[in-house]
């Protein structure tokens, strides 16, 4: 749209600063770029997701990411039924020799061997995908819920409410996110998978809040919102029917990216002992933590869960980044 929009388009965040931007500044700019991407559309009137999909269908990077993600989700769901051994069973117990051979190696029926308690490593890895997915998905969902609420409140009400919410959000964004998650998780009296979910959800909230508020503001100045206002549509309907549904595109993209971050952060926290200590529910970060003790004798114990985390996070990131690129007018061409 080359037509002058009567100065109603929001001014973009001022680029070209002389000093190196701070951590918080970099994160804010990244979020804002995605938020405004939602309105700068070369096919106005076509929903953002639909026009992005056209570009994505042929993008091999997106397809690879999507394939990994899909495989991971399917595995996570069906793993308890396809895992060859129960995760609590200890079929290799009689081979564990604490002094000479603490970790049994591979043998027929046990593709990757066992762990230090004689449990089948392959089965635990498979089933571990489930906890990883649960933590990632719930953390992102809660983060989304919190962020959408705050962002809607800020973007719809505006004024001092907006300023207050955005101040808090910006402070949260300027603290390194893993540090913040670590702090929150260590407040819990007894760590569990819910500790992880809450801690990681909290660090997602400001991201979604700022993002949604940004795209709501862009929507507020859009032609179709002006047209709806010109017909006397009530403010509540303007927000929930005209602004919010059109602001969700960037949020969905961010959610894909956030899943990757949530999975990595969850693994990191649970590696540090802030996750679910219950070994009957294996989780990759937890397995990684347990593998530390044997890192010189049996590095594969750490290698497999770490590899799984990397591949899955890569899948979500490839998918999310190509979505992001498909939406961002600066990188589109």
Partner 1 sequence: MTQAQATRHPRGASEPLLSVRDLRVTFQRQGDAAFKAVDGVSFDVRPGQTVGLVGESGCGKSVTSLAIMGLLPERGNTVEGKAVFDGEDLLTLSPSAMRDRRGAEIAMIFQDPLSSLNPVITIGRQVTEVMERHQGLSRKQATPKARDLLERVGIPDPKARLVNYPHQLSGGMRQRALIAMALACNPRLLIADEPTTALDVTIQAQILALLKELVVDTGTALVMITHDLGVVAGLCDEVNVLYGGKVVERGGRHGLFKRPRHPYTVGLLNSIPRLDAPLGEKLDPVPGSVADNLPWASACAFAPRCSQVVDACTSHTPEWEGDHVVGHRCFNPMGGTP
Ligand X SMILES: Nc1ncnc2c1ncn2[C@@H]1O[C@H](COP(=O)(O)OP(=O)(O)OP(=O)(O)O)[C@@H](O)[C@H]1O
Say how far apart CA 231 and CA 224 lie, in whole Å: 11
In the bound complex, what is the minimum distance in angstroms from residue 58's beta carbon to partner 1? 20
**What angle (nearest 5°) sits at the alpha carbon of residue 12, between those of residues 11 and 17?**
120
CB atoms within 10 A of CB 267: 29
> Is residue 46 part of the contact set for partner 1 (CB under 8 A)?
yes
**Of positions 36, 204, 222, 286, contacts partner 1 by CB under 8 A:** 222
Binding at 231: pick from partner 1, ligand X, none (beta carbon under 5-8 Å per type): partner 1
Where does this chain touch partner 1 (CB under 8 A) — which range of 1-9, 63-71, 79-87, 294-302? 1-9
| Token code pair at residue 57 | 């269908």
> Is residue 232 part of the contact set for partner 1 (CB under 8 A)?
yes
Torsions phi, psi of 41, nearest 5? -120, 130
Look-up: residue for tokens 């609420």?
Answer: 149
In the bound complex, what is the minimum distance in angstroms from residue 250's beta carbon to partner 1? 14
Is the CB of 4 or the CB of 14 nearer to ligand X? 4
Which residues on adjacent β-strands are paired with residue 107?
Answer: 110
Which residues on adjacent β-strands are paired with residue 101?
Answer: 97
**Of positions 7, 16, 60, 108, contacts partner 1 by CB under 8 A:** 7
Say how far apart CA 250 and CA 170 lie, in whole Å: 19
Where does this chain touch partner 1 (CB under 8 A) — which range of 110-118, 142-150, 239-247, 284-292? 239-247
**What angle (nearest 5°) sits at the alpha carbon of residue 189, between those of residues 184 and 191?**
75
Is the CB of 6 or the CB of 14 nearer to ligand X? 6
- Total residues contacting partner 1 (rule CB under 8 A)? 29
Query: Which residue number has the CB closest to ligand X?
Result: 7
Say how far apart CA 128 and CA 180 lie, in whole Å: 25
Say how far apart CA 209 and CA 219 lie, in whole Å: 15
> Is residue 242 part of the contact set for partner 1 (CB under 8 A)?
yes
> Is residue 4 part of the contact set for ligand X (CB under 6 A)?
yes
In the bound complex, what is the minimum distance in angstroms from residue 221's beta carbon to ligand X? 9
Within its chain, how far is the Cα of 141 from the centroid?
9
Look-up: residue for tokens 């953002």?
Answer: 48
Binding at 54: pick from ligand X, partner 1, none (beta carbon under 5-8 Å per type): none
Applying CB under 8 A, the residues found at the interface with partner 1 are 1, 3-4, 6-8, 43-47, 50, 222-224, 226-234, 237, 241-242, 245-246
Applying CB under 6 A, the residues found at the interface with ligand X are 4, 6-8
């Amino acid at each position: 749209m080359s037509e002058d929009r009567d100065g109603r388009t929001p001014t973009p965040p001022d680029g070209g600063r002389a000093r190196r931007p701070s951590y918080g500044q970099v994160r804010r700019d990244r979020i804002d770029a995605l938020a405004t991407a939602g309105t700068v559309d070369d096919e106005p009137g076509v929903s953002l997701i639909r026009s992005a999909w056209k570009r994505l269908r042929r993008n091999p990077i997106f397809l690879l990411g999507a394939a990994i993600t899909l495989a991971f989700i399917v595995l996570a769901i069906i793993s308890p039924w396809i895992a060859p051994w129960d995760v609590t069973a200890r079929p290799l117990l009689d081979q564990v020799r604490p002094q000479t051979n603490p970790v049994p190696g591979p043998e027929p029926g046990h593709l990757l061997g066992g762990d230090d308690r004689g449990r089948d490593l392959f089965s635990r890895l498979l089933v571990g995908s489930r906890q990883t997915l649960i933590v990632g998905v719930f953390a992102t969902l809660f983060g989304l819920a919190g962020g959408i609420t705050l962002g809607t409140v800020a973007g719809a009400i505006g004024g001092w409410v907006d300023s207050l919410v955005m101040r808090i959000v910006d402070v949260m964004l300027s603290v390194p996110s893993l540090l913040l998650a670590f702090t929150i998780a260590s407040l819990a009296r007894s760590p569990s998978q819910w500790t992880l979910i809450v801690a990681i959800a909290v660090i997602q909230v400001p991201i979604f809040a700022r993002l949604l508020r940004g795209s709501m503001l862009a929507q507020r100045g859009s032609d179709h919102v002006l047209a709806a206002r010109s017909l006397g549509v009530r403010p509540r309907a303007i927000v929930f029917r005209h602004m919010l549904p059109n602001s969700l595109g960037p949020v969905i993209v961010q959610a894909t990216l956030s899943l990757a971050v949530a999975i990595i952060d969850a693994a990191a926290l649970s590696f540090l002992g802030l996750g679910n200590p219950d070994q009957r529910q294996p989780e990759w970060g937890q397995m990684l933590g347990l593998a530390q003790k044997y890192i010189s004798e049996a590095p594969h114990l750490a290698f497999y869960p770490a590899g799984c985390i990397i591949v899955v996070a890569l899948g979500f990131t490839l998918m999310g980044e190509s979505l992001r690129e498909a939406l961002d007018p600066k990188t589109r061409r």
